[in-house]
Amino acid sequence: MSQTNAADAERLALAESWIAQDPDPETRAELAALVEGARAGDPAASAELADRFDTRLAFGTAGLRGEIAAGPNRMNRVLVAQAAAGLAAYLLERARPGETPSVVIGYDGRKNSAVFARDSAEVMAGAGVRAVLLPQLLPTPVLAFAVRHLEMSAGVMVTASHNPPNDNGYKVYLGGGDDGSQIVAPADAEIAAAILRVAGTTTVPELPRGDFETAPESVVDEYIRQTALVADAPAAQPRVVYTAMHGVGWETAARVLAAAGFDAPALVTTQISPDPAFPTVAFPNPEEPGAMDLSFARAREVDAELIIANDPDADRLAIAVPDAAAADGYRRLTGNEVGLLLGWQAARRAAAAASGDAGADGTLACSIVSSPGLEAVARAYDLDFEATLTGFKWISRATGLLFGFEEALGYLVNPQTVRDKDGISAAVAFLSLAAELKAAGRTIADHLDDFVERFGCFASSQISLRVTDLSRIGEIMARLRAAPPASVGGIRVERIEDLANGFGALPPSDVLRVLLEGGGRVMVRPSGTEPKLKVYIDAVGAEGTVAERRAAASAAVAALEAGMRELTA
């Protein structure tokens, strides 16, 4: 038998074994069809089996995320049961003598989310872990809140956030000393090893299942109460449009806005209810072109002063404001613009709350690929600043955190309540800012000008190079390391920092940081959740009028973007 035939035969045997333990009739049937096609000599079926069985969906600091289908390299009930059993084993190994570890499990409105959550609860309960399921589909921030509020050992959220419709995922939080933050190394590797041990020794039908608890509605009520406290009592009522992007945000957001004293917003009704098909958007991510078109249309109908959009699991926030120069009459603010305004708001509140001559105390934090403007805010208010690796698993761990953000529409405005990005609390905080400005006769656009006048213009741009062959990302990173550029877009490179082996207090990460003459910066890294190479570009305009600062920063960003497109082609 040839080596290829032997590999094909092994995959067919693995697929047959998978079918035998898969409790899902849909994925069993589609895998059986692939097996039949491969046995009949269909090369496409054989290639698909190779893609599904030659590797395994990696469990890392982002947990699991992938397309729903059969096989170890996809999201399905077999993989989820193995993940639940592995996480249970990890928690039991870490538990003190006589202690029963606990987990709270949440789920959003995606395909199979409720099924995956129930499987996880049953499997973990069967392993001897106290398992508590949230009472209904809910936003990710409610699960992150519940880990701390219920004092659980861990939390699991079944969601793929803003990924394509047929994706799902598995996000893990830890309580105790991790304070409800997402997992980081070495916990990710230890959990992954426990999952592999389960997968290699036990079939899914052999995993014992047990009874789980259902959390009381009071958990949700308390999240709503504490989140509403983020806002000051509104002195004005901005005209607002809200969209949930076919996700689970609206029911919770509506209760929070009402509790905080805000009028009900006008809704994008076609996007307000959970729908796993995401029928009105090509890609359910507010950052994607066209995703907010219906919001813009609704805003024009009601002459809205503010558009608030949550992503499908409501852990991210997008904001749009009127803009006469925009074709649609509105423009979405960048994640950096929203983050800088919320960071400034947090710094002002910290200063106002400071007593005597002690001054404000605490830390503003953002990921290394987010705007350096937050550091300027921290300096101005004599606050500490921390730049972390990408992801809220790192941002949430900043010492003395007051506020944290990442440019990908993630904001942490209430770290005493939730140790993760939270699109609902951030929406309330931003709406509170808009109300304060409206009461003073000003707008968000005016406030952006105020920021530039006080701190400088921090312009940014991003290149997302989506690939079908993941090896291309590695090739580009290797090329940039082997032949680092002396200039980018005609701007001289002052130095390049390779974070592969760690840098300062930062752990190792596959990131290149290019620092340029004039204060510009370029960051290059592979995406942690999608098949993309991401390039982040920042430049500063600090001299002249507001208009002159904007023009200088924009020109530098444009030159850097053109240069990086050439270097990554």
Give the Cα separation of 141 and 155 in Å (integer): 11
From 403, 415, 364, select the one nearest 179 (Cα to Cα): 415
Report whether CATH 3.40.120.10 matches the domain 220-455.
yes
pLDDT confidence tier of residue 360, bands split at 50, 70 and 90 = confident
* Least-confidence region, from 109-118, 355-364, 522-531: 355-364
Over residues 210-263, the pLDDT tens digits come to 999 999 999 999 999 999 999 999 999 999 999 999 999 999 999 999 999 999
Predicted pLDDT at 7: 83
pLDDT confidence tier of residue 357, bands split at 50, 70 and 90 = very low
Amino acid (1-letter code) at residue 406: E
Contact between 143 and 173 under an 8 Å Cβ cutoff? The reply is: yes
Beta-bridge partner residues of 320: 307, 332
Query: E strands along 417-490, which residues?
Result: 457-466, 487-488
Half-sphere exposure of 502 (CA within 13 A, CB side): 4
Same CATH fold assignment for domains 220-455 and 456-567: no
Mean pLDDT of the chain: 95
Predicted pLDDT at 60: 82
pLDDT at 4 over 80: no
Over residues 283-311, the pLDDT tens digits come to 899 999 999 999 999 999 999 999 999 99
Predicted pLDDT at 285: 93
Over residues 150-200, the pLDDT tens digits come to 999 999 999 999 999 999 999 999 999 999 999 998 999 999 999 999 999
Predicted pLDDT at 529: 67
If DSSP codes are grouped into helix, strand and coil, which group holds residue 174?
Answer: strand
Give the Cα separation of 194 and 81 in Å (integer): 12
Which residues lie below 8 Å from residue 289, measured CB to CB, with a gap of 6+? none
Place of tokens 């290394």: 368
Helix pair 373-380, 335-353: axis angle to 10 deg: 10
Q: What is the pLDDT averaged over residues 373-396?
A: 95
pLDDT at 355 over 80: no
pLDDT confidence tier of residue 1, bands split at 50, 70 and 90 = very low
Predicted pLDDT at 504: 85
Half-sphere exposure of 96 (CA within 13 A, CB side): 3
pLDDT confidence tier of residue 470, bands split at 50, 70 and 90 = confident
Does residue 120 have an active-site annotation? Answer: no
Give the Cα separation of 186 and 60 in Å (integer): 10
Instruction: Locate the domains of the chain by residue range.
Output: 1-54, 58-216, 220-455, 456-567
Helix or strand run (H / E) with residue 100: none
Give the Cα separation of 152 and 191 in Å (integer): 17
Q: What is the pLDDT averaged over residues 272-277?
A: 97
Predicted pLDDT at 316: 97
Which residues lie below 8 Å from residue 151, measured CB to CB, with a gap of 6+? 175
From 345, 243, 347, 240, select the one nearest 303 (Cα to Cα): 240
Give the Cα separation of 179 and 250 in Å (integer): 27
Give the Cα separation of 456 and 340 in Å (integer): 12
Predicted pLDDT at 359: 64
pLDDT at 358 over 90: no
Over residues 487-498, the pLDDT tens digits come to 999 999 999 999
Contact between 283 and 294 under an 8 Å Cβ cutoff? The reply is: no
Over residues 406-461, the pLDDT tens digits come to 999 999 999 999 999 999 999 999 999 999 999 999 999 999 999 999 999 999 99
pLDDT at 204 over 90: yes
Q: Name the CATH superfamily for 456-567.
A: Alpha-D-phosphohexomutase, C-terminal domain (3.30.310.50)
Beta-bridge partner residues of 332: 320
Report whether CATH 3.40.50.300 matches the domain 58-216.
no
Half-sphere exposure of 372 (CA within 13 A, CB side): 18
Which residues lie below 8 Å from residue 412, measured CB to CB, with a gap of 6+? 392, 395, 396, 401, 403, 404, 405, 418, 419, 420, 421, 422, 426
DSSP state for residue 96 in the 8-state scheme: P
Percent of the chain with pLDDT over 70: 98
* Least-confidence region, from 32-46, 136-150, 499-513: 499-513
Residue in 161, 295, 370, 460 annotated catalytic: 161
Distance of CA 265 to the CA centre of its chain: 25
Amino acid (1-letter code) at residue 493: V
Q: What is the pLDDT averaged over residues 11-32?
A: 96
Place of tokens 């789920």: 107
pLDDT at 2 over 50: no
From 330, 287, 278, select the one nearest 309 (Cα to Cα): 287
Predicted pLDDT at 516: 95
Give the Cα separation of 317 and 315 in Å (integer): 7
Predicted pLDDT at 3: 47
Give the Cα separation of 472 and 434 in Å (integer): 44
Contact between 420 and 412 under an 8 Å Cβ cutoff? The reply is: yes
pLDDT at 375 over 90: yes
Q: Which two tokens stand for residue 250?
A: 């609206």
Give the Cα separation of 37 and 142 in Å (integer): 44
Contact between 116 and 389 under an 8 Å Cβ cutoff? The reply is: no
pLDDT at 78 over 80: yes
What DSSP assignment string belongs to 188-212?
HHHHHHHHHHHHHH--GGGS-----
Q: What is the pLDDT averaged over residues 531-552?
A: 95
